[in-house]
Structure 1
Amino acid sequence: MPVNYYSYSHESARLIIRPLLLDDSKYWDDFMNSDEATALFPPNLKPPHFTAEDWIARQRKRYADDQLGLLALIEKKSGDFIGMSGLLKQEVEGSPEIEVGYHLLPKFWKKGYAREAALYFMKFGFTVLKPESIISLIHIYNIPSQRVAQTNGLTTNKKVIKNHGPAYVYRISVEEWAKTRSPQ
């Protein structure tokens, strides 16, 4: 996977998408300190053990190590930092996978931004990286994220305990993706 996707210029209908900056931690603090946003996170990925600075440093390490990672989502209309989305390398039961992930600040939930960002990165993944499929690992109690995955055409028939589980593995194959997308 020699493509450094974080070096691309990314944009969707309502979002400017860019690499995370260390200074973005001031915005991400609101997410990390929200009991609602982190309710399903394991304790080692919550403050005080894991901070907004740690989260952003982890993504920037992914940029260097994997040429993937979550990117900042900026609302075009307001210029507000609203969250993160992107593609991640994962290993599920010994198999390498490409995951589309998304995390939004709670005040931007239920506005279609997670769906828009995930669709953008799925299209990028299938067009540029060309995996056989793309997954989303979603906690079994995270119903809103499951709805985003389902709306975007991903389905599940597998539950895993690793990867911060218990989680469902939602998946869409390149063939399923091609069937659901009109030519552009």
Structure 2
Amino acid sequence: MEIIKTERLVLKKINQDDYEEMKIILQDKKLMSVGWGKTYSDEEVQAWIDKIIEQYEVFGYSYYLAVEKSTNEVVGIMGILPVTIKATEYIEVAYILKEKFWGKGYATEGIKECGDYIFNTLGADRYIAQVIPENTSSSKVAKRLGMKVIDDYMREHNGKGVFHLIYALTKEDYIKQSN
């Protein structure tokens, strides 16, 4: 089921038929080392898909499969996630792109449309992105979208704390950018 469309991408709900694609992404050592610090076992990939499907049912959104329109090739995953940080609930945008698609503007394009969806369909007043400072590419994406650092914290990854910056874009700033 297609949820969000951009000029080059279609973001559609992930389902059980996407298991092999999710394995390719979630078991890629280079991709997963950037922000996740681990790869997923086959069982963890299945549990991850089950969690995403549950989030669709509970929240109406989660990660989506990002597919290139012209080739029907899976670019990666991106989407909208509920998250609680320091006892504050946020709507977060996040993505993991296959290395082949890095540096081609897909993250900015897809996440911009996710932001449009957050403001125009979900009616939220802001959204965030969590970025480790070493991930300069994701920091650049956040800045291109007009996001600003509002906080930082230590996020637990596999039993250890990893420093994250919290970028945010308010609906007010989004509207100013659109005009």
Give the alignment's TM-score, normalised by structure 1.
Answer: 0.87
* Structure 2 gap segments, 5+ residues each: none
**1:100-111 correspondence to structure 2 within 5 Å:** 100-111=93-104
Preserved CA contact (<8 Å) 2:27 2:41: no
Note if 1:133 corresponds to 2:130. Answer: no
Preserved CA contact (<8 Å) 1:32 1:51: no
Q: In structure 2, what is the Cα distance between the partners aligned to 1:138 and 1:111?
A: 19
* Structure 1 gap segments, 5+ residues each: 1-6
Among residues 15, 35, 41, which one is paired with 2:36 in the alignment? 41
**1:6-155 correspondence to structure 2 within 5 Å:** 9-39=3-33, 40-43=35-38, 46-48=39-41, 51-155=44-148
Query: In terms of mean alpha carbon deviation, does 161-170 or 95-104 score higher?
Result: 161-170
Which structure's residues are more often strand, by fraction? 2
| TM superposition shift of 1:163 | 5.8
Matched position secondary structure for 2:84 = strand
Preserved CA contact (<8 Å) 1:29 1:51: no
Code of the aligned partner of 2:81: L
Preserved CA contact (<8 Å) 1:92 1:163: no
Q: In structure 1, what is the Cα distance between the partners aligned to 2:139 and 2:43?
A: 25
| TM superposition shift of 1:55 | 2.5
Give the alignment's TM-score, normalised by structure 2.
Answer: 0.89
Identity of aligned residues (%): 21
The 3 A distance-change label for structure 1 pair 138 and 94 is same
Matched position secondary structure for 1:23 = helix
Q: In structure 2, what is the Cα distance between the partners aligned to 1:163 and 1:141?
A: 16
Preserved CA contact (<8 Å) 1:62 1:68: yes
The alignment's C-alpha RMSD in Å is 1.8
Q: In structure 2, what is the Cα distance between the partners aligned to 1:153 and 1:35?
A: 30
- Following TM superposition, the consecutive aligned residue runs of length 4 or more in structure 1 with deviations greater than 4 angstroms are none
| TM superposition shift of 1:140 | 2.5
Preserved CA contact (<8 Å) 1:155 1:172: yes
